Amino acid sequence: MRQYMNILAHILILASYAVVAVLVYLVSPEIFTSMAPGTSMVLGAAVFLVSMQLHGLYIFRMGRQDMASRLMDLHQDYQMSLDRLEEVRLELQKHEEKINRADFSQNAEIISEMRVLQTLLNQVVEKSGKRLTDHVANEELARQISSSSLGTGLADQEGRDRSDEEILRIMHYALEDNRVDLYLQPIVALPSRRVVYFEAYSRVRDERDNVIFPSQYIQLAEDSGLVGTLDNLLLFRCIQVIRRLGPRKPDLRFFCNISSVSLNDQEFFPQFIDFMLENHELADRLVFEFSQQDVMRHSATVARSLASLGRRGFRFSMDKVFDYNIDLGDLASRYFRYVKMDAGALLEQEADIHPDDIKEAFARYDIDLIIEKIEDEQTILEVLDFGMDFGQGYLFGEPRLSSDPSLNL
């Protein structure tokens, strides 16, 4: 449309040149009376031709300016495209580097975890295999003694030995075949009963997927040295859940029990400390829990190692409290931020501090008191009378498999 308007404008301009030429042709004889009859026609034609030439030069000049302007616009667009392309390239490069760093970090974490897990498996094979061999040898010796000197009086003992051996075999192959599961029990805020933390437990399954509870194998695990391996495997199951959880529910923490066997394992514990120091982002997710007896017996080496974790942000919890004359200042200086107290002990006022004041006493040292073993509504009503903030027990939920959808992880 614009092109048609330009053509129409040029036609009108040319028509105006023709009109001027005709006026010159008609008026010039009257102005110049001595002019020859044909001269006015030549003068009019000359005016028309000169006007045409000037108009042509104008059109040519305007065309060049328009072309130069278009070329300049194209050049600017080209430069802008190059700049944008360079920005996109740099942005892609940054994303690629970020992805590579993330992949490298994730791979490093996986490699580090795999190394620790490999150590665990080596311990499983070595310790449980040795224990099985020793146990079978002891059983054979017991049979010989029974048949030669003790008669039938040890039949019950033999049956118990066979039962222990069976349980030990179940543990051995459960560890090798990845049949040790992570169970989680909620720790809730009071009085709302909102889940704020989870405590982690391990459960062993036999080849038929029947659950073997700790009461059935814990003594054998301690005697065979497998309890440390179970603790460490439980810890890494927690880490897997944390990795899967990602940035969701950032305030959710997992309490992992660490036994004295694990703390005094000279082969594994230093590797465990190094792993945690390298993955200090887990400090906001993991709380390591120790019994009061183990806390009181921490060696200087263990205390220094735990202090190095505490300085990197890790926090600790103490449970199985039997002596309520606790040095809270010392406990807080060792990065303990949680203490678990039996509901019965609280209600029976076994501590020197009156129950009405016990929460405030712990709070002065920034230690949260968690009342555990709350099993019925009557107990929770009595606990709430003392203004406690956290509770744990079957009333709020039994331990469930970590993959259970009801946990909402």
Residue 336 sits at φ, ψ, to 5 deg, of -85, 125
Q: Given a cut of 70, is residue 136 above it in pLDDT?
A: no
Contacts 24+ apart (CB under 8 A), 356-359: 356/386, 356/387, 358/386, 359/386, 359/387, 359/388, 359/389
* pTM for this model (two decimals): 0.64
pLDDT at 154: 33
Confidence of residue 131 (pLDDT cuts 50, 70, 90): very low
Q: Given a cut of 60, is residue 135 above it in pLDDT?
A: no
Please state the rounded mean pLDDT for residues 193-213. 88
| Digit-coded pLDDT (tens) for 170-200 | 877 787 777 888 999 999 999 999 999 999 9
- Answer whether 285's CB lies under 8 Å from 242's CB: yes
pLDDT at 291: 93
Confidence of residue 101 (pLDDT cuts 50, 70, 90): low
| Digit-coded pLDDT (tens) for 17-66 | 777 777 777 777 777 666 666 777 777 787 778 878 887 787 788 778 87
- For residue 207, what are the contacts with CB-CB under 8 A and spacing of at least 6? 170, 173, 177, 179
Q: Given a cut of 60, is residue 129 above it in pLDDT?
A: no
Correct CATH for 179-407 of 1.10.274.10, 3.20.20.450, 2.40.110.10, 3.40.1350.10: 3.20.20.450
Please state the rounded mean pLDDT for residues 135-164. 41
Q: What's the mean per-residue pLDDT of the chain? A: 79
| Digit-coded pLDDT (tens) for 365-374 | 999 999 999 9
Smallest Cα–Cα separation from 228: which of 371, 66, 120? 120
DSSP 53-89: HHHHHHHHHHHHHHHHHHHHHHHHHHHHHHHHHHHHH
Q: Which two tokens stand for residue 227?
A: 């309890």
Distance CA 107, CA 317 (A): 31
| Digit-coded pLDDT (tens) for 282-341 | 999 999 999 999 999 988 999 999 999 999 999 999 999 988 888 999 999 999 999 999
pLDDT at 293: 92
